[in-house]
Amino acid sequence: NAGVTQTPKFRVLKTGQSMTLLCAQDMNHEYMYWYRQDPGMGLRLIHYSVGEGTTAKGEVPDGYNVSRLKKQNFLLGLESAAPSQTSVYFCASRDGNQPQHFGDGTRLSIL
């Protein structure tokens, strides 16, 4: 049982490049989340999904897109990366009223 797996763990991009972060969970959870964490800022919600085929905006959605084509996967896309998107990205999933399970994070640097 792997839980929540994020790919990749580290990535360096140049400004303007695009990339997709993958989150996969094997717990059959309905809800999935993407957060970014900056020093001293806590966890800020980018986008989330309450089920397969649905997505919703969080607190800081600008510059990001997401897709939940399969229940187990939640993809976060950066169409044109900017230095302000340098951060640690965490994916999480949960079911019902249960707590969130987090992945190990993706450390993204944009030069």
Q: Would you tell me which residues interact with another protein (CB under 8 A)?
A: 31, 33, 35, 40-45, 48, 50, 56, 58-59, 90, 92, 97, 99-105
* Least gap, CB of 37 to another protein (angstroms): 9
Task: Report in angstroms how near the CB of residue 107 gets to another protein at its nearest.
Answer: 10
CA distance 33 to 15: 25
Of 103 and 110, which has the nearer Cβ to another protein?
A: 103
Strands 106-110, 87-94: parallel, antiparallel or unpaired by DSSP?
Answer: antiparallel
Minimal distance, residue 43 CB to another protein, in Å: 4
Q: How far is the CB of 77 from another protein (least distance, A)?
A: 20
- The whole-angstrom separation of Cα 49 and Cα 93 is 9
C-alpha gyration radius of the chain:
13
Q: Are strands 106-110 and 10-13 parallel, antiparallel or unpaired?
A: parallel
Listed residue (7, 6, 17, 4) closest to 86, CA to CA = 17
CB closer to another protein, 35 vs 74:
35
In terms of CB distance, is 17 or 60 closer to another protein? Answer: 60
Q: Which is nearer to another protein, 3 or 83 (CB)?
A: 3
3-state secondary structure of 82: coil
